[in-house]
Amino acid sequence: MADENAAGNPAGNPVARAGWREVAVRYGFIAITVALFVYFAGTEESFRQPSTLFSMLKFASVVAILGLGVTLTMVVGGLDLSVGAVAGMSVTISAMTMVIYAQVGGVAIALVLLAGALIGAVNALLIVVLKIPDLLATLASMFVVMGLKLVPVDGQSVSSGMTLRDGSLARGRFTPDFLAIDRAFLGPVPVPVVIVGVLAVATWFFLTRTRWGRLMYAVGANPEASRLAGVRVGRYRALAYVLCGVFAALGGLILASRIGQGDISAGNSLLLDAVAVALVGTSVLGLGKPNAWGTVLGAVLVGILITGLTIKGFPYYAQDIVKGLVLLLALLFSFTMSRRRSRYAPAAVI
């Protein structure tokens, strides 16, 4: 990954000469993350526990997975606003499958992932075939998905023992194997953290080491030049949205497993967090483009901050301020300090 980027500086502007500014842009974010971590660990006893570290990463896992999905759509020059809604839908579908229809966890997982892919495919259809701009299409699908999930449950949260339409009681419950997604460990590591790790490696490999990832970056960098180089631009944009839908559904599965009931408001706040960490991710390594590690690091940084500040006694409502400031800092790195201005963020944010 480093080879091309190291050489990516303009001619006559080698890294050695670029000075503190390039170094700050490239490593500033990581340095701040490490410094914050050291500060919290040094001042708070409880922060030093390995269990705190893992619960922090676990806390960040849902946002990280959704952020990875958003990253994929940003790579092709778009943005998916429906990720939070899809994650919320996944919670409801999981609950309906297990609680109302009393199916096993595996069925819920399969249905959720299928639904995620389906929403992704619909987004792709709207954007690629019907030529609706990405933001607007996914804004619409976000609303539709948020509303659609309420229909079969009459706008009610789903929980065991609730009264159904026909007057009977819901017989099923979240199965232990499904609940284990969020609660089980692999050695000392919580399963959601393992899932994020695997997804991050897979996304990084896909984006930077495979033909398809490269072509997705090409489509994002200049769709017309890509088309005229023989790239089937529509396919790669569609692929990004379908994958994003699946990622959002996967994030929703972890969320459902964490909540343990069909909370209808679940996922509502995730969109902004996911987009924010993906944007933070474009600046984390100074790459100036969406990338898998940056997004995950962005989610981890937000996780560290929020966990640390919570332990320090900051009120919960300060969290959004902190997230906003982190995003602002990232944008400063991307736009104000970097000579290579980010090409992705502005188009995506307008």
Partner 1 sequence: MATVSLQDVRHSFGDNVVLRGVSLDVDAGEVLALMGANGAGKSTLIKVLSGVHPLQSGTITIDGRPLVAAGPLDARAAGIETVHQRIDEGVVPGLTVAENLLFERIAQRELPLVGSLRSLLPAARSVAAGLGLDWPDDVLRRDVHELGIADQQLVLLARALSREPRLLVLDEPTSALSAAEAERLFTVVEALRAGGVAIIYVSHRIGEIERLADRIAVLRDGSVRSEQARPYDWPAAMHDMLGDRGARQLAERTEHRGTEVVLELRGVRLFTESPAFDLDLRAGEVTGVIGLLGAGKSELAHGIFGGQPFAVGSMRLDGTSYGPRSPAEAVAREVYLVPEDRAAQAMLPGWSIARTASLPFLRAVSPRGVLRSAQERADGRIVIERFDVVARAATQRVDALSGGNQQKVVVGRWLRGQPRVMVLDEPFRGVDIGARHDLSRRVRELAAGGSAALVLASDVDEVLEVADRVIVLVEGRPRLDAYTSTVTRDQIVSTMAEVA
Residues within the interface to partner 1 (CB under 8 A): 3-4, 6-13, 17, 209-212, 214-215, 218, 221-222, 224-232, 288-289, 340, 343
Q: Which of 123, 178, 114 is nearest to 145 (CA)?
A: 123
In the bound state with partner 1, the residue whose beta carbon lies nearer, of 130 and 169, is: 130
In the complex, minimum distance from the CB of residue 258 to partner 1, in angstroms, rounded to a whole number: 35
The secondary structure element, H or E, covering residue 64 is helix 50-75
CB of 239 to partner 1, least distance (A): 13
Task: Give least dist CB 262 to partner 1, A.
Answer: 39
Q: How far is the CB of 339 from partner 1 (least distance, A)?
A: 11
Residue indicated by tokens 């499904």: 178
Q: Other CB atoms closer than 10 Å to residue 263's CB: what's the count? A: 18
For residues 122-136, b (16+ Cβ closer than 10 Å) or e, as one string?
Answer: bbbebbbeeebebbe
Comparison of 17 and 130: residue with beta carbon closer to partner 1: 17
Token representation of residue 97: 């499958």
Q: Which is nearer to partner 1, 143 or 212 (CB)?
A: 212
Nearer to partner 1, 59 or 344 (CB): 344
CA–CA separation, 224 and 222 (whole Å): 6
Q: Round to the nearest angstrom and report the end-to-end CA distance of the chain.
A: 29
What is the spatial distance between Cα 70 and Cα 161, in angstroms, rounded to a whole number?
36
Residue pair 249/112 in contact by the 8 Å Cβ criterion: yes
Identity of the residue, 166 or 224, whose beta carbon is nearer to partner 1 in the bound complex: 224
User: Which amino acid makes up residue 274?
Assistant: A
Closest-CA residue to 87 (of 263, 288, 321, 295)? 263
Residue closer to partner 1, measured from CB, 174 or 204: 204
Q: Closest separation between CB of residue 162 and partner 1, Å?
A: 48
Nearer to partner 1, 173 or 343 (CB): 343
Total residue count of the chain as it appears in this document? 350
**DSSP 8-state code for residue 128:** I
- Name which of 243, 339, 300, 247 is nearest 23 in CA terms: 339
Nearest approach, Cβ of 84 to partner 1 (angstroms)? 31
| Residue 6 CB, nearest approach to partner 1 (Å) | 8
- Minimum distance between the CB of residue 47 and partner 1, rounded to whole angstroms? 39
Question: Can you read off the two tokens belonging to residue 6?
Answer: 């190291």
Nearer to partner 1, 136 or 228 (CB): 228
The DSSP annotation for 239-264 comes to HHHHHHHHHHHHHHHHHHHHH-SB-T
Q: Which is nearer to partner 1, 97 or 338 (CB)?
A: 338
Q: State the Cα–Cα distance between residues 301 and 32, nearest whole angstrom.
A: 9
Q: Determine the residue type at 124.
A: A
Question: Closest distance between partner 1 and the C-beta of residue 236, in Å?
Answer: 12
